[in-house]
Amino acid sequence: MSAPPAPWRAPPTSDGLITYDELRLAARNPGTPGEALALDITPVGLHYVLTRFDIPLIDPATWRLTVDGLVDRPLALSLDDIRRLPATTLTVTMECSGNGRAGMTPRPLGIPWLGDAVGTAEWTGAQLRDVLAQAGLRPGIAELSFTGADYGIERGYATAFIRALTPQDALRPEVLLVYAMNGQSLPPQHGAPLRLIVPGWYGMASVKWLMRIRALDQPVQAYHQRIGYHFRAPGSQTAIPIRHMRPRALMVPPGHPDFFSRRRHVAAGRVRLQGRAWSGSGIAVTRVLVSAAGGADGSWRDAALGASVGPYAWRGWTFDWQAAPGTYELCCRATDALGVSQPLDPPFDAGGMGNNAIQRVAVVVD
């Protein structure tokens, strides 16, 4: 890293149709289809993908993880070296911080996520702290940097995908170096042969195609750490680093879709609505409310909560709706153990980050 990261500029916004550039990004970066929200674990091929540059296709036989910088014993670990460490499997819900960007008005140009950039997988690997203990962290470390094998250009600045964690965050027991997803070896699009998983955080912390961990006495000056992935109010100089996920509930779209409009059609009578809800940093979702009237005052009812599949994973919810013929807007809204609820309307962020406004699903009852 020689050049300093280029300063952030607000991306242009649009109120209208998505652009060709956005369509191209959307086609490369699929979301998780709503029907997969019926499952605790998102099947590998249905889990959303976000790859900023190109997918590096790495030969696992020659790949090594370098651990260097302020350590007693610099390491070059093979995949077998990491597989020999005690293995941990954690069920983790991961969401992109740009999830919901397409619902902002005006819309900052970027990957035009609706609400589907979230998935839950069983990740298996070594605890990061075991690898760090093997290397021996020296005193005076400000941050550890995590470098992926992918490389490209961000606003004129050529860079790898590099993120940082403080030693305190990196040494948490749930932070993993994973080589398996849902019991299969990690697929290329999710970071093969090895990726970082930082449970409870938005997805950007979980560096894919991990090549190098460096212990540094200074904060990491890399685009994706210092410039990208911050909350920014429009016109303000203040940039707040993005960390943990905000609370959110999503529903499995009920009934059957109209092919082109995606409007849902259900038969009158009792309709079982279901979905998943989550929050960040291991904080539980304690309440999910459902409205069949677009979230109007007095229309919210409690959904029944299912068991959570782990401290860092979403939990299921169900709600029996007595559907009479007509048109409806179904909404769901999560509240977490800190008492934080989803906003009814999308908050605006200059980079399109952190839109956890309630989901709205148009339904016709026939």
Ligand X SMILES: Nc1nc2c(c(=O)[nH]1)N[C@H]1C(S)=C(S)[C@@H](COP(=O)(O)O)O[C@H]1N2
Which residues of this protein are in contact with ligand X, per CB under 6 A?
Answer: 47-52, 94, 96, 148, 150, 161, 190, 203-204, 206-209
- Of 70, 204, 285, 365, which one interacts with Mo ion (CB under 5 A)? 204
Q: Considering beta carbons, is residue 254 or 280 the nearer one to ligand X?
A: 280
Q: Please state, in angstroms and rounded to a whole number, the distance separating the CA atoms of residues 89 and 150.
A: 26
Q: Please state, in angstroms and rounded to a whole number, the distance separating the CA atoms of residues 302 and 286.
A: 11
Are 312 and 90 spatial neighbours (Cβ–Cβ below 8 Å)?
yes
Scan residues 39-78 and list those touching Mo ion (CB under 5 A).
Answer: 50
Are 65 and 77 spatial neighbours (Cβ–Cβ below 8 Å)?
yes
Interaction of residue 203 with Mo ion, rule CB under 5 A: yes
212 binds, among ligand X, Mo ion, none (CB under 5 to 8 A by kind): none
Least distance CB 319 / Mo ion (angstroms): 29
Least distance CB 97 / ligand X (angstroms): 7
Q: Considering beta carbons, is residue 191 or 253 the nearer one to ligand X?
A: 191
Site mask for Mo ion (CB under 5 A), range 92-111, x = bound: ----x---------------
51 binds, among Mo ion, ligand X, none (CB under 5 to 8 A by kind): ligand X
Identity of residue 307 = A
Kindly state the tokens that stand for 242.
């993005």
Residue 106: is the preceding peptide bond cis (ω within 30°)?
yes
Nearest to 342 by CA among 329, 330, 328, 354: 354
131 binds, among ligand X, Mo ion, none (CB under 5 to 8 A by kind): none
Q: Considering beta carbons, is residue 208 or 315 the nearer one to ligand X?
A: 208
Stretch that binds Mo ion, among 196-204, 231-239, 295-303, 337-345 (CB under 5 A): 196-204
Q: Please state, in angstroms and rounded to a whole number, the distance separating the CA atoms of residues 175 and 173.
A: 6
365 binds, among ligand X, Mo ion, none (CB under 5 to 8 A by kind): none
Angle at 319 between CA 314 and CA 322, to 5 degrees: 160
246 binds, among ligand X, Mo ion, none (CB under 5 to 8 A by kind): none
Report the SS3 class of residue 129.
helix
Report the SS3 class of residue 3.
coil
Q: Please name every residue paired with 144 in a beta bridge, in sequence order, or none if there are none.
A: 165, 215
Residues that bind Mo ion (CB under 5 A): 50, 96, 203-204
